[in-house]
Amino acid sequence: MSPSGSQRSKRTVKVAPSELVVDLNGEFVPKSEAKVSIFDHGLLYGDGVFEGIRAYNCLVFKLKEHLIRLEESAHTILLSLPLTQDEMMEHVTETLRRNRLRDAYIRVVVTRGVGDLGLDPAKCKQPTWFIITDKIVLYPESFYRNGMQLMTVPTVRNLPEAINPAIKSLNYLNNIMAKIEAKNSNYQEALMLNHQGYVAECTGDNIFVLKNGILQTPAAHIGVLRGITRQAIMELALRNDIPCQERILTRHDLFNADEAFLTGTAAEVIPVVNIDGRRVGSGKPGKMTRKLMSAFRDLTKKDGVRYTL
């Protein structure tokens, strides 16, 4: 392993007491001084992969699962990760310790690295990687109590045959365009369809509906991210004797659902009470949604990698 790995990770830097540090290529640097080259292909072309991860009370939730997905995304785009899974775990927890964060949002990023102005990834000799730990709040607390509203936007989800949404790449322009359309209409989140008109996902979250006691979510093969929180909810449903299916869903299915909610690492589990002006169920967060929200909160207390400050 090169010096950019674990050996350099112990380097001490002087930072202001209130300033966060970033693990950049194995060196801890102040947030204000963390920089990458303008010739990095992650910046020039979105050529790279990332994971968003959460820590709850000194437990990194589903860390192994996130790092496995990072490896799979990197493997698909032929990007060699500079650290092993165990080494990456050590760097994640060390970054949290240095920032003295018990609860945090963690961003692990690996880019193709510095190259020339051409597209050829072979010109990038060494990947760039960094770990950011900070706080994140996507939605106001009132959305979790009262539910949120969605609108379907014209921008369709990337075709799996073009850029597979299962790859968590640095190119999020597809999602950003959909987010812009929603915000322009005063909605906080957008529902995206695939190229065939079937329900895919939102800009950063997976979607679930409950109908006649059966929990349903769009099938992964139609072009959705296999979310870590999505998988956790499916497993929790089965443990609680709630039938759960991956299937093809239309907007008609969503409009006539008994309950609906979104899942994501940053959003966690958030109720949906209105889609395209149609009330979902009673128009309030449903009983099953609230049950799964509670079960998910309990899961975040025990399923992951612990660290100490």
User: Which residue is catalytic, options 123, 168, 179, 302?
Assistant: 168
SS3 state of residue 74: helix
User: Within 13 Å of residue 36, how many CA atoms lie on the same side as its CB?
Assistant: 23
168 classed as catalytic: yes
Q: Which long-range contacts (CB under 8 A, 24 or more apart) does 160-167 make?
A: 160/221, 160/222, 160/223, 164/76, 164/223, 165/200, 165/201, 165/223, 165/224, 165/225, 166/73, 166/220, 166/224, 166/225, 166/226, 167/49, 167/73, 167/76, 167/77
Cβ(109)–Cβ(129) under 8 Å? yes
- Cα dist from 227 to 166, 233, 235, whole Å: 9, 10, 12
- Catalytically active residues are 168
